[in-house]
Structure 1
Amino acid sequence: MAALAEVGSAGHFRELLQQKGKSLVVVHFWAPWAPQCIQMNDVMAELAKEHSQVTFVKLEAEAVPEVSEKYEISSVPTFLFFKNSQKIDRLDGAHAPELTKKVQRHASSSTISAGPNDNAKEDLNVRLKKLTNAAPCMVFIKGSPQEPCCGFSRQMVEILNKHNIMFSSFDIFSDEEVRQGLKTYSNWPTYPQLYVAGELIGGLDIVKELEASGELDTICPKAHKLEDKLKVLTNKASVMLFMKGNKQMAKCGFSKQIIEILNSTGVDYETFDILEDEEVRQGLKTYSNWPTYPQLYVKGELVGGLDIVKELKENGELLSILKGEN
């Protein structure tokens, strides 16, 4: 079986991409605890035999968090495709046929033909539709809301925050394919771009006009509505766990560990998969003032994440807290 390259640090990852230049690099963000990842490593090894000009890489997602966060890796397995150190494609999930198809297409991209290019355009449009619908209010900006990389993006973020509008964002600098493709998809040539319910509202000038006319508050979802939703969700069951995945299939190592601890107590609990709702995923961090997942709630009150739950178990306090005795 062909060997796969392994990356163990952010620096090593950057060096590898620079060394490979125009060659295709396929990176598998994986976790040793996930059986589907083990299977996909075998698929990668088989593909490596067929495509000697392609570099296939394994990167343990939770061991190199700065790389995983940069490329928004929220579950495993996830595959990213690179050329010239730029991400050109992505595949989420254990889909061997789709992985094979993407490798074949990108490996032979120097051969121009209508079919593959049409497929690539279709795949990008599907992805753009998913991105524009990732949250009720999505803004595509240069940089992040905390660190906008241009004055227009900064002004857009300031207006949305001033009106207490709950929004999620996408850094178009992080993905050149999205940056260029969204201009055609939306028929809007500049950034930032604001979408509500998957529909383009416009850029900064349009948002300023809507603010001046008072329409912005009626178009965009307000934060207090999300807070009401989060309050209902955190009180949905006496014990609520917000995690990546569910009881049957955890999608990160931390979620898997906390599930095992809760199962050992025998206490009934319900879960919410934060990967299924970007609005909840982002909003709950602010609501709870807790930046990571999983998050455990008892009777609507935050207990904490995995480290806190581990401490409570070691101290013998966990069961009484889960039963609401403390």
Structure 2
Amino acid sequence: MANLMEATTNEQFEDFLTKAGKCLTVVHFQAAWAPQCGQMNEVMAELAKEHADTTFVKLEAEAVPEVSEKYDIASVPTFLFFKGREKVDRLDGANAPELTKKVQRLAVTGSPGGAAESTTTDLNQRLKKLINAAPCMLFMKGSSQEPRCGFSRQIVGLLKEHSIQFSSFDILSDEEVRQGLKTYSNWPTYPQLYVNGELVGGLDIVKELAESGELENTCPKAVTLEHRLKTVINQSPVMLFMKGNKDAAKCGFSRQTLEILNGTGVDYDTFDILQDEEVRQGLKTYSNWPTYPQLYVKGDLIGGLDILKELKESGDLVSVLKGES
């Protein structure tokens, strides 16, 4: 298959990106010992048949460490998406439906209306939801516990110094959000701070507000952890607290839980506890449940993976998720 390649050196990898030009290139960072990588290669082979203008590249992650280190590849399978040699998206984990969706979306280049317009609408809705996930929302590099750039570190320091209650989103973990938010808010750099869904600005603006004494008035008053946990738990009728998100689970228990929930056809939302240490630790005490994932229905804890398995086997899972029992 002409558009399904394998790169064994950094030079080959760079050459494939160059030859692809502005067309989409999908790179699968794999390992021969991982069975899920073999399964995803089969998915790639089918996608290669459908998308003749897209280049699909397999790359043994451990055999070409300079490429893996450059793009922060920490696990396999991981997929990177390139256009014009620029990385435009990323997918961690063996998620065939999401890989298919991303290829279909990114392979569309400059098409008026139709799929491109629909994709933009979907992204804007997702960005709006993220921005409104908390009264004070910070989009930054890294997390509030581990900032990964100087500007992010400074703005976190200012917010904590002034006892501002805030949540954060690591834009390094999601290339689609990282690029899309720049256009959505017409603000080209990070970090970005939002209050009640509205952009406040970046580090310089926050510094000015702190110096003038207006920062505390601009940002909502700090709320108790218990109040915050209740708010997050009731964000959706069915709420799953997990490692990762719907598109990329970051532990086996979370992945199995997603598979069970997806099989019910019931709508649910997720919260990535790896992105918020306060919620991750606080929820264990609040619910007296020491592990993750944790599933809540209408604000009440149902339990973790074992409980969901039992409900599925007994045939009660769907009625529980709908709050009928």
> How far apart are the structure 2 equivalents of 1:80 and 1:248?
22
> How far apart are the structure 1 equivalents of 2:125 and 2:59?
26
Per the alignment, residue 251 of structure 2 pairs with: 245
Q: How many residues align?
A: 247
**1:208: how far off?**
2.9
TM-score normalised to structure 2 length:
0.52
What SS does the corresponding residue of 2:276 show, helix, strand or coil? helix
Identity of aligned residues (%): 56
Task: Read off the aligned partner of 2:35 and give its amino acid letter.
Answer: P
The alpha-carbon distance between structure 1 residues 32 and 125, as it changes in their structure 2 partners (threshold 3 A), is: farther
**1:44: how far off?**
0.9
Task: Read off the aligned partner of 1:186 and give its amino acid letter.
Answer: S
Matches within 5 A, 1:67-106: 67=67, 71=71, 76-106=76-106
CA contact (8 A) 1:210 1:216 kept: no
**1:57: how far off?**
1.1
Per the alignment, residue 185 of structure 2 pairs with: 186
CA contact (8 A) 1:134 1:278 kept: no
271, 277, 280: which one aligns with 2:277: 280
* Of 157-166 and 54-63, the range deviating more from structure 2: 157-166
Question: Please, which runs of 5 or more residues in structure 2 have no aligned partner?
Answer: 230-242, 245-249, 257-270, 282-325
CA contact (8 A) 2:139 2:190 kept: no
**Cα displacement string for residues 169-225 of structure 1 (whole angstroms, at most 9, x for unaligned residues):** 6468x95x6455214433656653124797644333542354323618975979xx7
CA contact (8 A) 1:79 1:90 kept: yes
Per the alignment, residue 203 of structure 2 pairs with: 204
**1:68: how far off?**
5.0
CA contact (8 A) 1:207 1:216 kept: no
> How far apart are the structure 1 equivalents of 2:196 and 2:252?
26
Task: Read off the aligned partner of 1:245 and give its amino acid letter.
Answer: C
The alpha-carbon distance between structure 1 residues 96 and 221, as it changes in their structure 2 partners (threshold 3 A), is: same
**1:116: how far off?**
1.4
The alpha-carbon distance between structure 1 residues 214 and 2, as it changes in their structure 2 partners (threshold 3 A), is: closer
What SS does the corresponding residue of 1:22 show, helix, strand or coil? coil
> How far apart are the structure 2 equivalents of 1:207 and 1:2?
52
The alpha-carbon distance between structure 1 residues 210 and 47, as it changes in their structure 2 partners (threshold 3 A), is: same
Per the alignment, residue 303 of structure 1 pairs with: none
CA contact (8 A) 1:28 1:80 kept: yes
Question: Please, which runs of 5 or more residues in structure 1 have no aligned partner?
Answer: 230-241, 251-273, 285-326
**1:26: how far off?**
0.9
Per the alignment, residue 20 of structure 1 pairs with: 20
Task: Read off the aligned partner of 2:118 and give its amino acid letter.
Answer: N
> How far apart are the structure 1 equivalents of 2:13 and 2:128?
30
CA contact (8 A) 1:4 1:56 kept: yes
The alpha-carbon distance between structure 1 residues 96 and 199, as it changes in their structure 2 partners (threshold 3 A), is: same
Per the alignment, residue 299 of structure 2 pairs with: none
> How far apart are the structure 2 equivalents of 1:197 and 1:279?
19
Per the alignment, residue 306 of structure 1 pairs with: none
The alpha-carbon distance between structure 1 residues 24 and 204, as it changes in their structure 2 partners (threshold 3 A), is: same
**1:81: how far off?**
1.9
